[in-house]
């Protein structure tokens, strides 16, 4: 999960840099700017832990992604999808190694009246001993024009079999 938060942070930073590089879109509030970015075979390696066993180790995610954004005088809309392979190799060579597939999606919609953020993450990994780890996360937050959060939740389900 830490990896997903880090990935989404990088996405937000990339989108922000893009927005700053296109000031003409905001000059006088005219027009809209849209961008789409595709990446293939991105490799993200980090220290992590197995949420089912507590074993520490290395998490490697290799994925393709696509990000899309639109900005105009009334707001902005961003979305991103990532999918690929995921592997957890424990520091202890006697512990179980897990590998599988993951998919993640996020959306960010802002206009003059509200702001909505939402995301989903799914992963299923199988261990070298046949056991499985499944993760599903669904989150959303919504804010009205007065800056009041009217919806906020983050539901995560973990299955260790």
Contacts of 126 (CB under 8 A, 6+ apart): 98, 99, 100, 132
Judge whether residue 12 has pLDDT over 80.
no
pLDDT tens figures, 18-63: 444 444 444 445 578 999 999 999 999 999 999 999 999 999 999 9
Q: Sign of dihedral through CA atoms 91, 93, 95, 99? A: positive
pLDDT tens figures, 66-105: 999 998 888 888 999 999 999 999 999 999 999 999 999 9
Q: Whole-model pTM?
A: 0.74
Measured distance CA(23)–CA(12) in Å, rounded: 18
pLDDT tens figures, 122-132: 999 999 999 99
């Amino acid at each position: 999960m830490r990896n997903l938060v880090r990935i989404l942070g990088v996405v937000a930073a990339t989108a922000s840099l893009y927005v700053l590089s296109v000031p003409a879109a905001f000059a006088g509030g005219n027009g809209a700017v849209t961008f789409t970015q595709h990446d293939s075979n991105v490799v993200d390696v980090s220290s992590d832990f197995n949420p089912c066993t507590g074993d520490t180790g290395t998490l490697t995610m290799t994925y393709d992604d696509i990000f899309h954004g639109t900005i105009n005088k009334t707001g902005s809309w961003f979305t991103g999808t990532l999918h690929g392979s995921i592997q957890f190799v424990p520091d202890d060579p006697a512990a179980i190694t897990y590998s599988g597939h993951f998919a993640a999606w996020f959306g960010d919609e802002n206009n003059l009246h509200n702001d909505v953020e939402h995301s989903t993450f799914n992963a299923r990994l199988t261990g070298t001993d046949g056991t499985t780890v499944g993760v599903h996360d669904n989150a959303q937050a919504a804010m009205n024009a007065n800056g009041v959060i009217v919806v906020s939740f983050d539901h995560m389900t973990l299955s260790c079999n």
